[in-house]
Amino acid sequence: MQQLYDTRAPNPPSRAILVGVKLRDALMHETEESLQELRQLTETAGIEAVCETIQPRDVPNPTYFIGEGKVEELKTLTAELEADAVIFDEELSPAQTRNIEQALNIATVDRTGLILQVFAQRASTKEARLQVALAQLEYALPRLTRMWTHLSRLATGAGGGGGYLRGPGETQLEMDRRWIRRHISQVKKALDTVEKRRHVQRRNREEKINVSLVGYTNAGKSTLFNALTGESVLAENQLFATLDSTTRKVNLPQNQQILLSDTVGFIKKLPHQLVAAFKATLEEVAEADLLLHVVDVSHSEAEAQIDAVNEVLAELDATDIPMLMAFNKTDRLETEDALQFLRSRYPEALPISAQRGDGIEALREALAQRFVNRGAIVALNIPYTAGKTLDLLYKHGTVLDTVYDAEAVRVNARVPSRYLKAVKPFLVTANEAEVYAESTQ
């Protein structure tokens, strides 16, 4: 089954022309910014962007998305620039993709297909490769253009065996589609196993405080994760450096402890296939106690990126989860204007630089305050012979005050719910609590 996890095209394009389309209701600067992001995606995929072009249109052409005149212009450009692919900053229909490929005689990739290629290259674990495989197979099924013919090569090696033969009167295209449907079913079964394992892991963490990092791709989530946890997970200045969810413990002020999860970054027009395929991973977000939304405030489209993240959170039914926003990369700001404008919109957001460590302690304090009321305040009467219980309180709870008597320590403490059972034998009675309260006044 190893081949099943490798859905990278064997001969990807090397030189591409990028095509943007400004539709009637779009602003030109938004189209230009999106095309610049497409260039980043193209470079991340290892493809050289040799030219960029934008066509204004009121509505998409149903045959080519762009106009016929633009198709003729692209024919000339591809010959002059020796391009072997054209990449659109839109999602094309299967028919539009086929029509453009036939007209230009080179590979045609839309934004969704390019993002899937980047994910395929970045996936390093079996789980991530399964998730990307599912997304690519479902995307490829109605298309099966030259960019996806590599999938049929896997039919003899990915569980198909030598007995996978074409049926009577069955075309190669029909056989490829049958093969893809069969492997979609296999990958879904494998991902069901992954989802069940994650469900068990989350159930074991139910009594713990779970915080998930969310944000636009390349906002600095992994760098902040490292700063808060002391870990060294991959943190690159590239789109989608993190695909696999990583969870670690973080100690906060007032003896609090949370579980922090780093998750895959979001992007505008994030393919629905990826959201569905990464369901098991993204449930870390949907079931968190708090979302820590990391924003790259140095980016010219920071507010649009915030909106894009919120759209994906809505798709995950995670908009009701409490959120704390961190304005990252403040060290890259040339002026304070952009930061001040965003802070006027989001006054509770904290300015930080995860790279330099600026504002990290203030962020820890803010996280601690969010959970300061988590747990129960209890009055305890702990004999000196039960020193381990007192140690537990200082290590995992918040000791509010103590009174040392002849035979025991009277303690007023905030105890996380998962430790209440351990201290239950030392809870004071109502009468004892009154005496204790008077003695501390």
Backbone angles phi, psi at 49, to 5 degrees: -90, 110
Q: Which residues contact 379 (CB under 8 A, 6 or more apart)?
A: 410, 411, 412, 427, 428, 432, 433, 436
Residue 372: is its pLDDT beyond 80? no
Residue 158: is its pLDDT beyond 50? no
Round the CA-based radius of gyration of the chain to a whole number and report it. Answer: 27
Mean model confidence pLDDT for the chain: 82
Choose between 272 and 386: higher pLDDT: 386
pLDDT tens sequence across 330-369: 999 888 888 888 999 999 999 999 999 999 999 999 998 8
Predicted local distance difference test score (pLDDT) of residue 200:
74
CA distance 264 to 271: 13
Predicted local distance difference test score (pLDDT) of residue 323:
95
Residue 74: is its pLDDT beyond 90? yes
Burial category of 145 from C-beta neighbours within 10 Å (exposed 0-12, middle 13-18, buried 19 and up): middle
Residue 337: both structure tokens together: 């204007």
> Which of 342, 360, 362 has its CA nearest to residue 295?
342
Choose between 82 and 271: higher pLDDT: 82
Number of residues in the chain: 441
Helix (H) or strand (E) holding 334: none
Mean pLDDT for the stretch of residues 239-247: 69
Predicted local distance difference test score (pLDDT) of residue 219:
93
Note whether 397 and 413 are within 8 A (CB): yes
Model confidence, pTM: 0.74
CA 373 vs. chain centroid, Å, equals: 29
pLDDT tens sequence across 264-300: 888 888 777 777 777 666 777 888 889 999 999 999 8
Choose between 422 and 9: higher pLDDT: 422
The structure tokens 């030392």 sit at 426
Q: Which residues contact 260 (CB under 8 A, 6 or more apart)?
A: 211, 212, 213, 225, 228, 229, 247, 248, 249, 250, 292
> Which of 409, 353, 414, 340 has its CA nearest to residue 378?
414
